[in-house]
Structure 1
Amino acid sequence: MSKAVIVKAKRSAIGKENGFFKHLEVQQLLAPLLRHLSEGIEEHLNDVILGNIVGLGGNIARLSGLQAGLPLHVPGLTIDRQCSAGLEAIRLACCLVEAGAGDCYIAGGAESVSTSPFEKRARFSPEDIGDPDMGLAAEYVAKTYQITRDDQDEFAELSYQRAWESLETGFYKQEILPIEGQTTDEELVRKRDIKRILLRAIPTFIKNGSVTAANSCSINDGACAVVVMSENKAKSLSLQPILRFVDSEVFGVHPFFPGIAPVFAIKGLLKKRNLDIRDIDLFEINEAFASKAVACAKELGIPYEKLNTRGGSIALGHPYSASGSILVTRLFYEVQQRQDCRYVIAAIGSGGGIGLAMLFETCI
């Protein structure tokens, strides 16, 4: 069986809703990434697999590939697993490589909430079960897993601190492909007094709650994708593998608690591979809400020094389908900065109560 490896990864800067990317549709965000990532390997591409959940419809992957000027033989597949879509696209590409269906894919996701035609979100769960908005579900996680407002604000402040440090040291430059000249995530364009903002924020979703706009992510535009190849194909093209796919797990929980779903996916993944939390050197778990990140860390016993070490979506924003692929891209560049990484995990929870986790080992 041919092992799947990741050899390239790039993302756009992340824009605010109706911010600097407000005039770009999804395919216009994706096309520069696809053009860049495919350079030199155009004729080897088997497919482009992309997640998108609030776009204009149609096959965004095919549309984006054509707009990028990819060869006509590259078909394009668009998938929707809500916020897990970008990570699922990478998972699917890895599984296709290992099944022998192909040996070269671009996979990721993108979202343009600014140009989305939808005024309301899709339904995640039927009425007889209940379909809470994600902020309310974050409150349910906080209450059930005893995550306090202080716990959430502390983590949110840490996310911002790490994001600013990563910006100031130039870490994000290697991740970001400039699109329309934008090289900095819009949330970081102007430095703010986050401690003061956290203290003054009021509960957003329920009276006397603990989830606020300050300890939650924003709504954003952005795109991200990676190149997944068989290890043999990468070697034949003289491309350096950085992350090698090991295994994955997807798991469903009650739709009231999507924020805790990554815990079960990660536990199942580690059990399959006879590994322990202590064997994993880095975790990237989509934040979305601080209650989710803190609950996952608490339930799994993940120390904060191993979790989202460069900041996350609370500080940078959450462009839905792109977020899962951003987790992998973050790991792609972070492991190249370290000498002590063997195993890393990317995980995300999404609407409807779905958790997805991917385990990689480093190749360098």
Structure 2
Amino acid sequence: MNPAFILAARRTAVAPRGGAFRAVEAHDLAAPVLRACLDDAGVAANPVDYVILGNALSGGGNVARLAALAAGLAESVPALTLDTQCCSGLDAIQLAARMVESGAADLVLAGGVESFSRSPLRAVRPRAKGEPPLFYDRPPFTPWPARDPDMIEVLAHAAKGYSRERQAEFAIASHAKALAARARLEAEIVPVAGLAFDSFTRALTPALCARAPVLHRDSETELDAAGVAVEADAAAVVLVASRAWAERRLKAGRPVCEVAHARSFAAAPDDPPAAIDRALALAPFPPGRAIPVVELMEASAGQAMTNAQRAGLDSAAINRGGGALARGHPIGASGAILAVRQFHELTREASGALGLSAIAAAGGLASLLMLHRL
């Protein structure tokens, strides 16, 4: 099997739903990021073999193809859009790595894009004449309604054992890390619609968290809006390449990461955290070797703390530039943002350093990507 490498990684800023990207279509978010990855790697558009983008909300069609054409890629470059909800962006990168490893491609642009702001209204077609369409916010994630919990219920379950104050501390720390890292975060961002920084990040305080609306409360836990990632718009892409392209990049003195491990996981559909627990438990961590860079999805503070604790991850390595609590959660792009962050954080480490990205999705799915800095 041929190894796969990442030569470049870029993203847009993350903007809350209805914010700076409220008028930007999903493909127009992704197009400049595709272009930036090629420019960073010094690769012309024509050699690209494929474009793969994750997306959950576009309502059909092939947003990856629109983005590729809008980016000026050759019309002969095929494109694929996939939907595994929150895992979509990381799964797209995994699929790109598999294409390179199999010898089916040498250069693949992969990642994710999401626009909550421009997502279409969704409705089920009437079954009988005279019935109105039935609008819905999300599709079913299992064929069994009794085993298809609301996501707030899932996040509340993951928060059990953590007080509201402890969750607030985690959220505050996420924002603080993002503020402290703003300069290096902006270096990976492609400006779109005049926005060049993650606009949701703020100096969060215990007082602000205490005033946040309560989303769930029962006898075992309490969940508020400060501890849950907001709906957002963004795009993130990496350039996955074969050894020959990686060697050219290394000779030019530019950073390259090898895909050390990439895998998808599944567990009980009504217990989404179980899948990411399994992913982290089966990750091939080298015995006795530290992993300095961990990009762990922060769908909520409780979920992130639970995953980190169960996997025994070093808190100092987790989300060094802040996480989704400080940015937002653009579903199809969130996993790809983790990969972009992992790549850029690894470029600050010595050769040989390992990084990890992990994310879970509704329906009992999870995805994991490990990179090795060359």
- TM-score under structure 1 normalisation? 0.92
| 1:255 pairs with one of 246, 262, 269 | 269
Write out per-residue CA displacement over residues 237-278 of structure 1, whole angstroms, 9 at most, x where no aligned residue.
6563521001223221223332342221122222xxx63485
Distance 1:186 1:45 in 2: 32
Q: Secondary structure at the match of 1:291?
A: helix
Q: Secondary structure at the match of 2:191?
A: coil
Which amino acid letter does the alignment assign opposite residue 261 of structure 1? A
Q: Quick check: 1:262–1:355 contact (8 Å CA) kept in 2?
A: yes
Q: What residue in structure 1 maps to residue 130 of structure 2?
A: none
Which amino acid letter does the alignment assign opposite residue 152 of structure 2? G
Measured after TM superposition, the shift of residue 358 of structure 1 is: 1.2
The within-5 A match list for 1:207-286 is 207=218, 209-236=221-248, 240-270=254-284, 275-276=286-287, 278-286=289-297
**Cα 1:161–1:179 shift into 2, 3 Å:** same
Q: What residue in structure 2 maps to residue 124 of structure 1?
A: 141
Measured after TM superposition, the shift of residue 219 of structure 1 is: 0.3
**Cα 1:193–1:89 shift into 2, 3 Å:** closer
Q: Secondary structure at the match of 1:348?
A: strand
Q: Secondary structure at the match of 1:264?
A: helix
Q: Quick check: 1:277–1:302 contact (8 Å CA) kept in 2?
A: no
Q: What residue in structure 1 maps to residue 30 of structure 2?
A: 30
Q: Quick check: 1:147–1:295 contact (8 Å CA) kept in 2?
A: no
Q: Quick check: 1:140–1:256 contact (8 Å CA) kept in 2?
A: no
Which amino acid letter does the alignment assign opposite residue 165 of structure 2? D
- TM-score under structure 2 normalisation? 0.89
Distance 2:67 2:59 in 1: 13
Does residue 311 of structure 1 match 2:319? Answer: no
Q: Secondary structure at the match of 2:7?
A: strand
**Cα 1:214–1:74 shift into 2, 3 Å:** same
Distance 1:43 1:60 in 2: 19
**Cα 1:246–1:206 shift into 2, 3 Å:** same
**Cα 1:269–1:249 shift into 2, 3 Å:** farther
Give the fraction of aligned pairs with identical amino acids, expressed as a percent: 34
Does residue 95 of structure 1 match 2:98? Answer: yes
Q: What residue in structure 2 maps to residue 175 of structure 1?
A: 188
Distance 1:34 1:360 in 2: 20
Q: Quick check: 2:346–2:354 contact (8 Å CA) kept in 1?
A: no
**Cα 1:346–1:181 shift into 2, 3 Å:** same
Q: Which moved more, 1:251-260 or 1:319-328?
A: 251-260
Distance 1:150 1:230 in 2: 47
Which amino acid letter does the alignment assign opposite residue 23 of structure 1? A
Does residue 162 of structure 1 match 2:174? Answer: no
**Cα 1:91–1:73 shift into 2, 3 Å:** same
Q: Quick check: 1:248–1:269 contact (8 Å CA) kept in 2?
A: no
Distance 1:47 1:308 in 2: 30
Which amino acid letter does the alignment assign opposite residue 159 of structure 2? A
Distance 1:287 1:149 in 2: 16
Q: Quick check: 2:268–2:274 contact (8 Å CA) kept in 1?
A: no
Q: Which moved more, 1:89-98 or 1:244-253?
A: 244-253
Q: Quick check: 1:285–1:348 contact (8 Å CA) kept in 2?
A: yes
Distance 2:168 2:269 in 1: 25
Q: What residue in structure 1 maps to residue 199 of structure 2?
A: 186
Q: What residue in structure 2 maps to residue 135 of structure 1?
A: 152
Q: Which moved more, 1:248-257 or 1:56-65?
A: 248-257
Q: Which sections of structure 2, spanning at least 5 residues, go unmatched?
A: 123-135
Distance 1:134 1:73 in 2: 40
Q: What residue in structure 1 maps to residue 348 of structure 2?
A: 337
Q: What residue in structure 2 maps to residue 325 of structure 1?
A: 336
Distance 2:360 2:300 in 1: 11
Q: What residue in structure 1 maps to residue 46 of structure 2?
A: 43
Write out per-residue CA displacement over residues 27-77 of structure 1, whole angstroms, 9 at most, x where no aligned residue.
111111122223433121000000011013201111111111110111100
Measured after TM superposition, the shift of residue 129 of structure 1 is: 4.3
Which amino acid letter does the alignment assign opposite residue 198 of structure 2? D
Measured after TM superposition, the shift of residue 172 of structure 1 is: 1.0
Measured after TM superposition, the shift of residue 199 of structure 1 is: 2.3
Q: Quick check: 1:42–1:71 contact (8 Å CA) kept in 2?
A: yes
Measured after TM superposition, the shift of residue 288 of structure 1 is: 0.9
Q: Which sections of structure 1, spanning at least 5 residues, go unmatched?
A: none
Measured after TM superposition, the shift of residue 229 of structure 1 is: 0.2
Q: Quick check: 1:335–1:341 contact (8 Å CA) kept in 2?
A: no
Measured after TM superposition, the shift of residue 340 of structure 1 is: 7.6
Q: Quick check: 2:17–2:232 contact (8 Å CA) kept in 1?
A: yes
Corresponding residue pairs, total: 354
Which amino acid letter does the alignment assign opposite residue 143 of structure 2? P
Q: Quick check: 1:6–1:243 contact (8 Å CA) kept in 2?
A: yes
Q: What residue in structure 2 maps to residue 6 of structure 1?
A: 6
Measured after TM superposition, the shift of residue 235 of structure 1 is: 2.3
